[in-house]
């Protein structure tokens, strides 16, 4: 049995779909369904059981032997992923303590443990984007979300749990099943909606003289590649911290142009003021260093370009009758 926490969420549900494609249905989905429509991510999926997060935590504590005998490993995607969440206590409980409990359980019972860290742990990027233990201790995230993820990385390193686990630093993931995420949806999904309704795309102006409007750079990775890397880490028992990205930063202008092209429309971009409260926390460049995943551990699957990923997303999901992965 494979446990996927956050299995009703964006990346988690796509992981379950990929396991289903392998013929694997002995899956326990753990999540905390709320008033959003993320339950729709489950409709196309095949799994053995759904458990509420709190019930699962109690279960592996009370019936450790039963769970130990039935669980092969945990793919831990369950967390609050909002970079604007200001409730520090909630983030510490949901992203830090919850992960600690599962990480300790897997280490104690010799179970696979792959968990979601985040590129937000890199802060402003001045120290680079190398998935290395030494750099990890020097990082200073710019928001509480990134800090909660960073603290767990440091805890895993300090306690030795990381020697039995893989922490995945996801960069800017986009793709189907993100529809419930509200303002945390990818810019690709937001762009599609704006272009469809208004015929134009609004992007933030740059507030750095050396970077033109639309020239802000991100490492955008398609969900299918993010899932492939996650399962590669799980299948091969990788341990340590790993970036999950393309290794190629692309501009928001490039992203917008790719969406317009996939929709068969002419480029029409308007640059708008960035809210003042995020200007001092805004990242102008992110790019995953993929040396460890690709060169050291020989991940050799083709990674979709921004244009390829956007085209698949728009043509096979956003404009399809069934927009959900299966």
312 assigned to some structural domain: no
Tokens of 283: 């990242």
Listed residue (294, 279, 312) closest to 206, CA to CA: 279
The 10s digit of each residue's pLDDT in 259-294 is: 999 999 999 999 999 999 888 878 899 999 999 999
Mean pLDDT value of segment 17-32? 97
Is the pLDDT at 35 greater than 90? The verdict is: no
255 assigned to some structural domain: no
Of the listed ranges 76-80, 297-301, 314-318, the least confidently predicted one is 76-80
Q: Is there a contact between 269 and 203 (Cβ–Cβ < 8 Å)?
A: yes
Is the pLDDT at 80 greater than 90? The verdict is: no
129 assigned to some structural domain: yes
Angle separating helix axes 252-262 and 187-198, nearest 10 degrees: 50
Residue 124, domain CATH: 3.40.50.720
Give the three-state DSSP class for 8: coil
pLDDT confidence of residue 212: 97
pLDDT confidence of residue 160: 96
pLDDT confidence of residue 289: 97
pLDDT band at 71 (very low <50, low <70, confident <90, very high): very high
Other beta carbons within 10 Å of 250 = 19
Q: In this structure, what is the dihedral angle of CA atoms 47, 51, 57, 62, given to the nearest 10 degrees?
A: -90
Is the pLDDT at 90 greater than 90? The verdict is: no
What average pLDDT is seen over the chain? 95
Listed residue (311, 282, 291, 313) closest to 129, CA to CA: 291
Give the three-state DSSP class for 168: strand
pLDDT confidence of residue 283: 86
Number of domains into which the chain is organized: 1
The domain in which residue 82 lies consists of 2-174+220-246+287-303
93 assigned to some structural domain: yes
271 assigned to some structural domain: no
> CA-CA distance, 80 to 182, in Å (whole number)?
13
**Active-site amino acid positions:** 145, 181
Mean pLDDT value of segment 202-210? 96
Those residues whose C-beta lies under 8 Å from the C-beta of residue 182, and which sit 6 or more positions away, are 36
Those residues whose C-beta lies under 8 Å from the C-beta of residue 316, and which sit 6 or more positions away, are none
Predicted structure pTM score: 0.96
pLDDT band at 211 (very low <50, low <70, confident <90, very high): very high
187 assigned to some structural domain: no
pLDDT confidence of residue 83: 77
The 10s digit of each residue's pLDDT in 224-248 is: 999 999 999 999 999 999 999 999 9
115 assigned to some structural domain: yes
pLDDT confidence of residue 281: 77
80 assigned to some structural domain: yes
How many residues belong to the chain?
Answer: 326
């Amino acid at each position: 049995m494979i446990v996927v926490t956050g299995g009703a969420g964006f990346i988690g549900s796509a992981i379950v779909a990929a396991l289903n494609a392998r013929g694997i249905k002995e899956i326990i989905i753990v999540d905390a369904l709320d008033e959003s429509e993320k339950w729709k991510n489950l409709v196309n999926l095949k799994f053995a059981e759904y458990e509420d997060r709190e019930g699962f935590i109690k279960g592996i504590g009370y019936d450790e032997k039963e769970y130990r005998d039935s669980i092969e490993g945990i793919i831990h995607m369950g967390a609050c992923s909002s970079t604007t969440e200001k409730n520090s206590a909630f983030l510490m409980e949901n992203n830090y303590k919850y992960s600690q409990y599962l990480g300790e359980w897997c280490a104690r019972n010799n179970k696979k443990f792959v968990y979601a860290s985040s590129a937000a742990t890199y802060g402003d990027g001045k120290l680079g984007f190398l998935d290395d233990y030494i750099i990890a201790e020097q990082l200073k995230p710019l928001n509480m979300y990134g800090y909660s993820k960073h603290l767990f990385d440091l805890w895993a390193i300090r306690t030795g749990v990381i020697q039995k686990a893989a922490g995945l630093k996801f960069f800017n993931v986009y793709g189907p099943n993100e529809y419930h995420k509200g303002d945390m949806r990818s810019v690709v999904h937001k762009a599609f909606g704006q272009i469809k309704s208004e015929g134009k795309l609004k992007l933030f102006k740059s507030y750095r003289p050396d970077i033109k409007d639309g020239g802000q750079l991100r490492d955008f990775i398609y969900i299918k590649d993010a899932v492939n890397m996650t399962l590669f880490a799980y299948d091969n028992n990788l341990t340590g911290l790993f970036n999950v990205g393309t290794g190629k930063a692309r501009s928001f202008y490039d992203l917008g142009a790719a969406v317009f092209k996939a929709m068969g429309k002419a480029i029409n971009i308007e640059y708008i003021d960035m809210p003042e409260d995020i200007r001092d926390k805004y990242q102008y460049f992110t790019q995953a260093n993929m040396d460890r995943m690709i060169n050291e551990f020989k991940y050799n699957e083709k990674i979709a370009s921004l244009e390829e990923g956007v085209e698949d997303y728009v043509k096979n999901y956003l404009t399809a009758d069934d927009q959900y992965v299966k």
